[in-house]
Amino acid sequence: MLRITACDGGADAAWDAYVARHPRATAYHASAWRRVIEETFGHTTVYLLALDDGRPVGVLPLALMKSLLFGRFLVSLPFVTYGGVLADSEVVERALVDEAIAMARRERAGHLELRHVDDRALGLRTRTHKVSMRLDLPRDADLLWRGFRAKLRSQIRKPQNEGVIARIGGIDLLDPFYQVFATNMRDLGTPVYPRRFFQAVLDAFPDRARIGVATLGDRPVAAGLVLGSRQDLEIPWASSLRPYNFLGGNMLLYWTVLRYACESGYARFDFGRSTPHGGTYRFKEQWGAQPVPLHWQYWLARGDATPDLSPANPRYRAAIRIWRSLPLAVANRLGPMIVSHVP
C-alpha cells in the first residue's frame, strides 16, 4: 500500500539509499542538502518520502520560503538548478506532487516550484527559460585539450604566460573564493550568499565539493566551487574580478577544473544554468558545452503568472543599480539577509 510521509532525520539512511539508486538524482537530493538549507538559512524543510509496504519508492525534497518581500512559497530546491520529484512510477510521482500541493495549500503558499530537467506530465504550468550547459568528457584530459580549437587553447595559455596560477583545493581555499565571489556579486548588483553557506556545502560533501582558484601573485582573480554527483561534476558558483578579466584568469580556472574532472573520472561537466544565447551561454558554448532545456514546473494558488524573482526581471533594475554602488562591506552584510529569501 502506497503511503506518503514526512521524512525525519531518523530516515536519512533509507532516503539516501533510494537517492543513490535513482537515475535522475542529483547531489541536491541527498539528505545532507537539507542540513545546508536549514543551518545556513533557517528555512523549514519537508522531505516527502513515498513508501510501498515500507519500501521507499519515491522522494520529494521541499523548502518552505517566507518573506515580507515575496510572500510564502515552496521550492524543490532553492538556490540551485536541480531538485524536484524522484519516483519509481508516474503513480508515485503524482502522489508526491499532490501531497506537496496539499502542503502548499495548508501553508497558504502562493506557489509551488519544482525544478526538473525533463518535462513531467504533471498538468502544471512550465517555464523553459533556462538551460543547463553540459560537456561530455573523455577519460584523458589531453584528449579534451586536443579537441579544443586553437583560439581556445591560446586563451588558456595567455593567463599562464602572464603569471596566473590555478589550483584545486578544499576548505583552505574558501577565503579567496569568497573574496572573489562576494566582490563580483556586488558588481553585478546581486545580493551575495553568506560565507557560511559555502562552508556548509564543503562540510556536507567533503568528498564531492572542491574549490578552484586562479591567482596572480597573492591576489585571487577567479574562483569557483564544484560539486560532484555520480558521473557529473557541476560548477554552480563561479566568479572573476572585472579589473583582472583582461588576463583571462577565468579561462585558466575553467580548464583547471575540467582537467580535474577528467582526472577524477567524471564523465560529464555541468557548466551550470544559463539564459539561452546570453553572455554566460556563449562563454560555456565555446568549450563545446551543449544546452539541455530545464523544465521548472509550478502550481499556482491563484492562477497568476509564474513568479520571476531573478535579477533579469525589469522590476529589480533600480535595486540592482543601487546595489552596485554599495561599499563591499555593506553589500556583504546586507546581502545574506536578502538572498536567503530569493530561491
Report how far apart, in Å, the C-alpha atoms of 327 and of each of 23, 95, 202 are. 45, 49, 28
Tally the C-alpha atoms within 13 A of residue 233's C-alpha that lie toward its C-beta: 25
Residues 121 and 167 in one domain: no
SS in 3 state form for 128-188? Answer: CCCEEEEEECCCCHHHHHHHCCHHHHHHHHHHHHCCEEEEEECHHHHHHHHHHHHHHHHHH
Q: What is the CATH number of the domain that holds 52?
A: 3.40.630.30
Q: Is residue 7 part of a domain?
A: yes
Cα–Cα nearest to 186, from 315, 10, 311, 43: 311
Q: Is residue 171 part of a domain?
A: yes
- Residues facing 238 on adjacent strands: 224
Residues 219 and 138 in one domain: yes
β-strands 131-136, 111-116 pairing: unpaired
Residues making up the chain, counted from first to last: 343
Residues 260 and 173 in one domain: yes
Residues 12 and 89 in one domain: yes
* pLDDT in 10s for each residue of the chain, 343 residues: 899 998 876 678 899 999 999 999 999 999 999 999 999 999 999 999 999 998 999 999 999 998 777 789 999 999 999 999 999 999 999 999 999 999 999 999 999 999 999 999 899 999 999 999 999 999 999 999 999 999 999 999 999 999 999 999 999 999 999 999 999 998 888 888 999 999 999 999 999 999 999 999 999 999 999 999 999 999 999 999 999 999 999 999 999 999 999 999 999 999 999 999 999 999 999 999 999 999 999 999 887 666 666 555 555 555 656 656 667 676 566 666 677 767 7
Q: Quick check: pTM over 0.85?
A: yes
**What range does the domain containing 218 cover?**
132-291
Neighbour count for residue 263 (Cβ, 10 Å): 12
Residues 149 and 263 in one domain: yes
Q: Is residue 25 part of a domain?
A: yes
Residue 293, C-alpha cell as written in the block: 532545456
pLDDT at 232 (0 to 100): 97
Q: How many domains does the chain have?
A: 2
Residues 150 and 279 in one domain: yes
Q: Is residue 154 part of a domain?
A: yes
Q: Is residue 251 part of a domain?
A: yes
